[in-house]
Structure 1
């Protein structure tokens, strides 16, 4: 199981497609599967999805997550309003480097 984050970009004035997490979970992305999706929409205009993906390896998980997002956004009422900025298992090295140097 991998946690993949997908950052979306939206054209000004557009809203998220209804039931976005559920729609993404319902996508067939064999051989992987999207098990659960959490929407983080605290920052206006910069929604981030946390996708829990069952896959053989990290690369397959990232591809499956991106494919599921792209399919759902393409079927949205205003598909041109949405883009996937990035879809990856992120690692914030700066935070951990700072913590390592903290006495």
Structure 2
């Protein structure tokens, strides 16, 4: 399973709606194997969606997440004020990296 972060850019003071995760999840197709979507409206510096996908590779998961997000942003009236900046796998920090 891969966690892909989709970084969004808000246009003209748009706020990420409370139901953003459910909206994006609704645009996923069964064969894309999106297991879960979370929304972080106060992500820094921009809002972030977290898409959890089953996939063969990290790159495949990133491409699927990008496709799902682009469909949702293009078709959902609630997400009209947003653009997709990037879709990248979340890479965990190494334990004790700061020591």
**Same fold by TM-score greater than 0.5:** yes
Conserved? CA contact 2:2–2:54, under 8 Å: yes
| Deviation, structure 1 residue 29 | 4.2
Structure 2 residue aligned with 1:68: 68
CA contact (8 A) 1:29 1:64 kept: no
> 1:10–1:45: 8 Å Cα contact kept in structure 2?
no
Q: Map 1:14-93 onto structure 2 (within 5 A).
A: 14-17=14-17, 19-29=19-29, 31-43=31-43, 46-77=46-77, 79=80, 81-91=81-91
Q: Which has the larger radius of gyration?
A: 1
TM-score (norm 1): 0.75
Structure 2: which 5+ runs fail to align?
A: none
1:60–1:44 distance in 2 versus 1, CA, 3 Å: closer
Q: How far does the alpha carbon of each residue in 1:51-74 deviate from its partner, in whole angstroms, 9 at most, with x for none?
A: 101111111110111111111110
SS of the equivalent of 1:21 reads: helix
1:69 and 1:27 mapped to 2: Cα distance? 8
- The number of equivalent residue pairs is 98
Residue pair 1:37, 1:52 contacting (<8 A) in 2 also: yes
Return the TM-score normalized by structure 2: 0.78
